[in-house]
Structure 1
Amino acid sequence: MLHLRVICPPERSDDVLRLLDEQPGVAHLVRLPGAALRPAGDMVEADVAREAADETIAALCGLGVDRDGGITLEQIDTALSDSADRAEEQAPGDAADAVVWEELLARTGEESRLNGTFLAFLSIACLLAAVGVITGSTVTIVGAMVVGPEFGPLAAIAVGLVRRRWDLVRRAALALAVGFPLAMVLTAVGTVAGNAVGLFDTSALTENHELDFVYDVGPWSLIVAVLAGAAGMLSMTSAKSAALVGVFISVTTVPAAGYASVALILGHWGRFGPSLGQLAVNLLGIVAAATVVLLLHRRHHARNGPGRPLSKG
């Protein structure tokens, strides 16, 4: 279940309470008159079944609470209550299949921002991939996949496309457009420095045939990217974040970027181009699959439950 907190003007409290009391999937309804200071007003709290949260938030936004007050959601790990059990039974659908769009927008919006942390993680991941390529260490390549933060912006692009949030699409695209080139430049500089001090030579790539999959772009590259993109978006929409680790170590985005940087510096042009192609195929495949998953979610929701307006926030 999710914990819902609503701050609203006192004159709207009755409407909010009535709405929540009539909404299926709501339990533990509490009203605290005058408890809110900024913005001033009453505070209303309730626990909401995940599968009912999206419709509940839409109804509250219809009352203008998001403009004059505030709405927050928190995940509840454990709820011991017969009332909560009844609320989950009354809520339509299944919690694992429910998409809380506002939660998804907030999560992907935060992970898609171009900031120092994103650039640092992506650069470190590319450098790790370069080390793995040069040393022939598959474990290091896998580590680079896990460290890479690129799935956040890719998921944000998919959410933005489905919800027609072009600001989110632009922000996520900017993060990728700046992040990958910068990380690859830093990796290229590191490769030049390592080669200059004699850590490795131009034969580093030709001797590691077990890593050819990194730049060997083909149908399987797209298939893996599509499956990983679908699994990643399902993980985000169902709050099963543990599955994201499997997504991270399935796609060849960061390894391809790191391989391309090393190949460029060492003069392996026959591997530089295919590495960039591998990167592009994986990025596009992930976005396409994630978008399709969200479209199917929305179609299923529209067919089996009442619709809700697109978010403007």
Structure 2
Amino acid sequence: MLHLRLISPAERTDEVVRLIENTVGTAHLVVLPGTARNPVGDLVLCDVAREAGDGLISGLRRLGLDETGSIAVDDIGLSLSRRADKAEAEAPGEGADAVLWEGLTEATHEESTLSVTYVAFITLATMIAACGVVLDNAILIVGAMAVGPEFGPLAGICTALVRRQPRLAWRSLIALLVGFAVAMAVTVGFSLFMDAIGLFHRSDLEGERPNTAFVYAPDAFSLIVAVLAGIAGTLSLTSAKSGALVGVAISVTTVPAAANAAAALAYGDTNQTLGSSVQLLVNLGGIVLAGTLTLLAQKYFWAKQRGGRA
């Protein structure tokens, strides 16, 4: 169930209440006239089944409530109510299959914004991965994958393509490109510094690396894993099962490939730099392709399940 907290101008409250009452899957409607002060209006509270949430939120936006009032949505962790159980049973479809498009857009907007924190995380992840590739340490590679925040902008691009929001696509692309560019540039300097103090050696990077050689050797499995990870990551976002994102992060070779390219560039190894760059692009492209197709499929099947049009 979702909990909606609405601030409605007094002259629109009747329409808002009517919309909620006519939406199958709602419960626990409360109206507190004149209690809101900023903005001034009535406070309206209700719960709605997740599978009916997107339709209700879209209806509220058509009433202009996001402009003249406020729409706040929270997930309900526990709801002990026979009326809530009835509302979920009445709502068409399954909650796990429902996509809250407004929530997805908001989440990807936040995760795909270029910020100091985002750049710091992707840079640190790339530096950790550089240690992993030079030392041929798979544990460091996995750790770097988990730290990397690059799935946020990738999800933002997928969402923007499906919802036809060029501003979100552009913002996400900038975050992705600038983030990796800064991270790789800093990692080149980091690699040179580590070499200068005797902790990195060119022979380690160019020697036998049974645990990490895959990061500069793209093959068919690189694309296959990226596609599967893109599907899993998108499903985890739309179903609010964020725990699966950790598994997605450590399944694709994005940050390690960028780190290997940067370390190889520091030593002038063009073969590894090129191979790692191709690996990076294959993984990024595979995730975007799979994520976009997954969202399109969810949009189509959900519309069919509800008897509407995709």
Structure 2 residue runs of 5 or longer lacking an equivalent are none
> What is the rounded CA distance, in whole Å, between the counterparts of 1:76 and 1:221 in structure 2?
39
Q: Does 1:266 align with 2:267?
A: yes
User: Which secondary structure state, in structure 1, belongs to the residue aligned with residue 143 of structure 2?
Assistant: helix
Shift of 1:267: 2.6
Question: Does the Cα contact within 8 Å between 1:111 and 1:152 map onto a contact in 2?
Answer: yes
Aligned counterpart, 2:210: 209
Q: Does 1:252 align with 2:253?
A: yes
Greater shift in the superposed pair: 262-271 or 189-198: 262-271
> What is the rounded CA distance, in whole Å, between the counterparts of 2:252 and 2:153 in structure 1?
15
Aligned counterpart, 1:283: 284
Code of the aligned partner of 1:31: V
> What is the rounded CA distance, in whole Å, between the counterparts of 1:300 and 1:39 in structure 2?
38
Aligned counterpart, 2:3: 3
> What is the rounded CA distance, in whole Å, between the counterparts of 1:179 and 1:290 in structure 2?
20
Aligned counterpart, 1:51: 51
Shift of 1:306: 6.2
Code of the aligned partner of 2:284: L
> What is the rounded CA distance, in whole Å, between the counterparts of 1:298 and 1:33 in structure 2?
37
| Cα displacement string for residues 274-299 of structure 1 (whole angstroms, at most 9, x for unaligned residues) | 10000000001000100001001111
| Cα displacement string for residues 17-47 of structure 1 (whole angstroms, at most 9, x for unaligned residues) | 1111121111110001111111110010001
Aligned counterpart, 1:118: 118
| Cα displacement string for residues 211-239 of structure 1 (whole angstroms, at most 9, x for unaligned residues) | 11111101100000000000000000000
Aligned counterpart, 1:234: 235
Q: Report how many aligned residue pairs link the two structures.
A: 309
Q: Normalising by structure 2, what TM-score?
A: 0.97
Write the mapping of 1:19-34 to structure 2, written as runs, cut at 5 A: 19-34=19-34
Aligned counterpart, 2:158: 158
Q: Does 1:133 align with 2:143?
A: no
User: Which secondary structure state, in structure 1, belongs to the residue aligned with residue 217 of structure 2?
Assistant: coil
Question: Does the Cα contact within 8 Å between 1:58 and 1:308 map onto a contact in 2?
Answer: no
Code of the aligned partner of 1:235: S
Shift of 1:210: 2.2
Code of the aligned partner of 2:212: L
Shift of 1:68: 1.1
> What is the rounded CA distance, in whole Å, between the counterparts of 1:177 and 1:295 in structure 2?
25
Aligned counterpart, 2:177: 177
Aligned counterpart, 1:225: 226
Question: Does the Cα contact within 8 Å between 1:8 and 1:68 map onto a contact in 2?
Answer: yes
User: Which secondary structure state, in structure 1, belongs to the residue aligned with residue 99 of structure 2?
Assistant: coil
User: Which secondary structure state, in structure 2, belongs to the residue aligned with residue 210 of structure 1?
Assistant: coil
User: Which secondary structure state, in structure 1, belongs to the residue aligned with residue 242 of structure 2?
Assistant: coil
Greater shift in the superposed pair: 262-271 or 52-61: 262-271
Question: Does the Cα contact within 8 Å between 1:55 and 1:308 map onto a contact in 2?
Answer: no
Please report the RMSD computed on the Cα atoms of aligned residues, expressed in angstroms: 1.3
Q: Percent sequence identity over matched residues?
A: 52
User: Which secondary structure state, in structure 2, belongs to the residue aligned with residue 209 of structure 1?
Assistant: coil
Runs of 4+ in 1 over 3 A off after TM superposition: 306-309
> What is the rounded CA distance, in whole Å, between the counterparts of 2:194 and 2:26 in structure 1?
60
Q: Does 1:92 align with 2:92?
A: yes
Structure 1 residue runs of 5 or longer lacking an equivalent are none
Aligned counterpart, 2:301: 300
Q: Normalising by structure 1, what TM-score?
A: 0.96
Shift of 1:137: 1.0
Question: Does the Cα contact within 8 Å between 2:29 and 2:46 map onto a contact in 1?
Answer: yes
Shift of 1:202: 1.0
